[in-house]
Chain A
Amino acid sequence: MEHLSGGEIVICALKDAGVKHVWGYPGGAALHIYDALYRQEDVEHLLVRHEQAAVHAADGFSRATGEVGTALVTSGPGATNAITGIATAYMDSIPLVVISGQVPKIKIGQDAFQETDMVGVSRPIVKHSFLVTQAEDIAETIAKAYYIASTGRPGPVVVDIPKDVTDPNYKVPYEWPANIKMRSYQPTNKGHRGQLKRAVKTLLSAKKPVIYSGGGVILDNASDQLIELAQRLNYPVTNTLMGLGAYPATDRQFIGMLGMHGTYEANTAMHESDVIFAVGARFDDRVTNDLDKFCPHATIIHIDVDPTSISKNINAHIPVVGTCTSVLNEMLSIADDMATEPDAEAIKDWWARIDQWRADKGIYTANRYEPSVGDIIKPQDAIKALYKATDGNAYVTSDVGQHQMFAAQYYLFDKPRRWINSGGLGTMGFGLPAAMGVQLAFPDAQVACVTGEGSIQMCIQELSTCSQYNLPVKIINLNNSALGMVRQWQDMNYSSRYSQSLYEDSLPDFVALAEAYGHVGMKVTRYEDLEEKMRECFALKDRTVFMDICVDKSEHVYPMQIPGGAMGDLFLNKSEKT
């Protein structure tokens, strides 16, 4: 058996866990680990410019690939800088392992230099955490961390390692545990057979069904099963913000995203439905609107791997705990056995109504916004141009704000894991580092980061990381010279008193800034140039390009649910409501 130091064990364990890339930033408490990293070639480390970005990049990597992302930071400020990234991953159930250095054990509790109780600080935003107290425990702890992060409802796991535990002079036998068993952690995979039968029966008897699928379907790679079930039943499908791409957006049965900025047809269909089949979704407040008015006629079937998600906000009539893939497979086979077909007449009538809603007020049947002209570029059109230039095939990460909602609405995702955004926490600054993670995973893919001039400045330092590792991401900056989403709320709720949402005169010259980092900067001010510039941007395959698009400053995101209303109560534009 090999004898290794704690620092070497950390790296060997990462290798044995299948990790190829670690995003991180060194510092005192992590230096033994960094030294072990230097002396090997199996695990590649990517140096970011801020620990938040390390975690977001690992997160983006995970969302695009389905693998566990890994980040490495030092104690104290390194650890606290990672917190926003960890919280982001936690809210969206993204499997990550974050390794943090810690002050030596004997100094813990002494207010030592760069000491932060990382296990304590991160406790509410991790799936689990460990403080490793001896080198002998590192391998097993890291193995457990990857197991916990990636099974059940995925999530981030923190492994905090005091510096003395990685001491290069103390060597212990290293063995990678072949398999991990934990008596206190045994996630449920398979749904209860009886419940599944009830679920199928109810689903087949529906006259106005909606399939409401969320991020869980993507996390569990259950998109194929979802498509099969939906197409076999000919039922309409809506996706949450986290679930986009699980069902192909260009398919006829897709009725758009639901929720706060969801389509009229999706939100109205939900409200009118008699059966809601919720799979891997959690009835988030950005979906349901007022809980008391939520879908009054619907019988709710709820599939989720996490029992706490079921009947938390909305009572489920038929709860099923299990992974999306296994449950959907089971349901398909039960449906085969039952040999009952949906009520074709009823479903036909239901589709007729949905098609009418689409035709009347849908955002895909006509432009529901003023046209772009001259120097007025509508942000929606910028996303449409992006879609066109990339043939709908890009990985699109986003930040948070109006641009995020426009991207979700107008970039039609036909595949899972292509739309990568911070849905749960809504973290500005997520987009660029996440795009780096995606680009690292898929060096030849087109990766676009749709952002705003506000959000991009929260992690803009990562332009330097893009240079260092040749990550040719394309930054699509919908520049409206304002914290647009904040301003929209101020327009709607505060009589346009723009408290601290404007900064027009102090924005940087983004083209010059990009160039200063060695990248290509492009600026678009006229609608006529948009498509061509967008094509030019993506033709620069090997370059990081910052595309600064000056978009209409007064635009709002619509539809928008009316606060306190039912799902289908929407503002459709600045002057019209449902």
Chain B
Amino acid sequence: MKRIISILLENESGALSRVVGLFAQRGYNIDTLTVAPTDDDTLSRLTLTTQSDDQMAEQIVKQLHKLIDTIKVVDLTVGSHIERELMLVKIKASDAEVRAELKSCVEIFRGHVVDVTASTYTVQLTGDSDKLDAFIDAVREIGIMEVVRTGVSGIARGDKFLRV
């Protein structure tokens, strides 16, 4: 099952490579990974998604916690949470009919066209991963030139928060 794991990490050189290395070393896979400093720039917030059963997820969380640079680790999938990903897609759009079709598609998915040329549309979309996947399926026939996804960022719903 898909897991979304949130990590609060010291914003230090080498810290990220230890997280990534751990996954390679222990044979866990990483599907997506996002990382950036938080409001406190001595800290990085990392979200990663991986496929694993309960037992493996427990080991992953424990192993991540064991890294000296990690401050907090949570498997967001255990509780209710919000998941967001941003995607930019460049799509072939030279004739008017296609442009119109694309536009309505973008509207349905609540995206934005953020760049236009005579032959292309660049679309920005945010949402959970399933929604982005669905958009790709919807426009695949039209002709996708390039896809860039940020990977998932996640946060718990309600009063829970991850902070030092």
A residues near B (Cβ < 8 Å) are 119-120, 123-124, 127-129, 131, 148, 182-185, 306-308, 311-312
Contacts and interface: CB of A to CB of B under 8 A. Distances in A.
B37 interface: no
User: SS class of chain A's interface: helix, strand, loop or mixed?
Assistant: mixed
Contacts of A129: 14
A185 B14 contact: no
A307 B65 contact: yes
Contacts of A307: 62, 65-66
Interface in B49-97: 55, 58-59, 62-63, 65-66, 68-71
Contact of A123 (B9, B10, B18, B58): B18
A119 B69 CA distance: 14
A124 B14 contact: no
A545 to B, nearest CB: 42
Nearest to B15: A184
Contact of B70 (A124, A184, A306, A312): A184
Contact of B68 (A120, A128, A131): A128
Given A127-B68, A148-B68, A306-B66, A311 B10 contact: no
A120 B66 contact: no
Given A124-B21, A185-B68, A306-B66, 11 more contacts: A120-B17, A123-B21, A127-B68, A148-B68, A183-B71, A184-B9, A184-B70, A184-B71, A307-B62, A308-B59, A308-B63
A131 B14 CA distance: 9
Contacts of B55: 311
Nearest to B64: A308
Interface in B8-64: 9-10, 13-14, 17-18, 21, 25, 55, 58-59, 62-63
Contacts of A185: 68
Interface residues of B, number: 20
Nearest to A312: B59
Contacts of A184: 9-10, 68-71
> Which among A119, A148, A307 has the greatest number of chain B C-beta atoms within 10 A?
A307
A38 B159 CA distance: 59
A124 B26 CA distance: 10
Contacts of B68: 127-128, 148, 182, 184-185
Contacts of A123: 17-18, 21
B1 interface: no
A335 B14 CA distance: 46
A183 B164 contact: yes
A184 B64 CA distance: 12
Contacts, number: 34
Nearest to B8: A184
Contacts of A312: 59
Interface of B: 9-10, 13-14, 17-18, 21, 25, 55, 58-59, 62-63, 65-66, 68-71, 164
Contacts of B59: 308, 312
Nearest to A124: B25
Contacts of B18: 123
A183 B10 CA distance: 9
Contacts of A124: 21, 25
A90 to B, nearest CB: 12
B45 to A, nearest CB: 14
Given A128-B68, A183-B164, A308-B63, A119 B25 contact: no
A37 to B, nearest CB: 27
A209 to B, nearest CB: 26
Among A127, A185, A306, A311, which residue has the most Cβ atoms of chain B within 10 A? A185
Contacts of A308: 59, 62-63, 66
A256 B58 CA distance: 34
A185 to B, nearest CB: 5
A119 B17 CA distance: 10
Contacts of B9: 184
A311 B63 CA distance: 12
29 contacts: A119-B14, A120-B17, A123-B18, A123-B21, A124-B21, A124-B25, A128-B68, A129-B14, A131-B13, A131-B14, A148-B68, A182-B68, A183-B71, A183-B164, A184-B10, A184-B68, A184-B69, A184-B70, A184-B71, A185-B68, A307-B62, A307-B65, A307-B66, A308-B59, A308-B62, A308-B63, A308-B66, A311-B58, A312-B59
A312 B9 CA distance: 24
A308 B68 CA distance: 14
A119 B14 CA distance: 8
A312 B62 CA distance: 10
Nearest to B72: A184
Nearest to B69: A184
Contacts of A311: 55, 58
A183 B42 CA distance: 12
A195 to B, nearest CB: 16
A182 B70 CA distance: 11
A348 to B, nearest CB: 39
A311 to B, nearest CB: 7
Contacts of B66: 306-308
A185 B72 CA distance: 10
B20 to A, nearest CB: 10
A312 B68 CA distance: 20
Nearest to B10: A184
Nearest to A184: B71
10 tightest Cβ-Cβ pairs between the two chains A and B: A128-B68, A308-B62, A184-B71, A124-B25, A307-B62, A185-B68, A123-B21, A308-B63, A184-B10, A308-B66
Contacts of B14: 119, 129, 131
Contacts of B63: 308
A9 to B, nearest CB: 21
A119 B18 CA distance: 10
Contacts of A182: 68
A307 B62 CA distance: 7
Nearest to A315: B55
A312 B25 CA distance: 15
Query: Which of B9, B58, B68, B71 has the most C-beta atoms of chain A within 10 angstroms of its own C-beta?
Result: B68
